[in-house]
């Protein structure tokens, strides 16, 4: 095998490794999008339960404290702003409003 052949093989190997990295990055991105969508749907359910009076925000916070790690609990309960006694709202980004318009409109009503 000549040096030129080795160089071609190394270039091909590098190209394949880049392609693998691209595919893995796309998969991770797709996984994050699915998880985000799932979390938004759960958030919508929780808000609907607040509005329907099936659970109280304080009850939800206590349940979160029991089942979540300290870090996840801090994230889940960060900046809860109760606008009504039966309703709690978390900040919603513009991207989340596009994915779940009802979430963005819930705090306006």
Task: Establish if 107 belongs to a structural domain.
Answer: no
Local confidence band at 76 (pLDDT 50, 70, 90 cut-offs)? confident
Task: Establish if 46 belongs to a structural domain.
Answer: yes
Task: Establish if 35 belongs to a structural domain.
Answer: yes
Give the three-class secondary structure for 77: coil
pLDDT of residue 50: 86
Q: What angle do CA 39, 23, 19 make, to 5 degrees?
A: 160
DSSP state of 55: S
Mean per-residue pLDDT, 23-47? 92
Local confidence band at 108 (pLDDT 50, 70, 90 cut-offs)? very low
Task: Establish if 108 belongs to a structural domain.
Answer: no
For 25, 45, 59, 68, the CA distances from 93, given in Å and listed in that order, are 23, 18, 25, 23
User: How far apart are the C-alpha atoms of 64 and 109, rounded to whole Å?
Assistant: 26
Question: Domain of 25?
Answer: 3-98
Count of structural domains within the chain: 1
Task: Establish if 14 belongs to a structural domain.
Answer: yes
88: Cβ–Cβ under 8 A, 6 or more apart, which residues?
A: 47, 50, 57, 60, 80, 81, 82
Give the three-class secondary structure for 79: coil
């Amino acid at each position: 095998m000549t040096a030129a052949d080795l160089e071609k093989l190394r270039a091909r190997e590098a190209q394949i490794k880049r392609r693998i990295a691209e595919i893995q990055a796309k998969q991770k991105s797709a996984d994050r999008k699915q998880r985000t969508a799932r979390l938004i749907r759960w958030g919508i359910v929780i808000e609907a339960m607040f509005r329907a009076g099936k659970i109280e925000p304080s009850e939800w916070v206590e349940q979160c404290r029991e089942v979540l790690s300290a870090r996840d609990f801090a994230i889940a309960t960060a900046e809860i702003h109760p606008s009504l006694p039966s309703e709690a709202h978390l900040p919603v980004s513009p991207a989340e409003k596009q994915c779940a318009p009802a979430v963005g409109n819930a705090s306006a009503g």
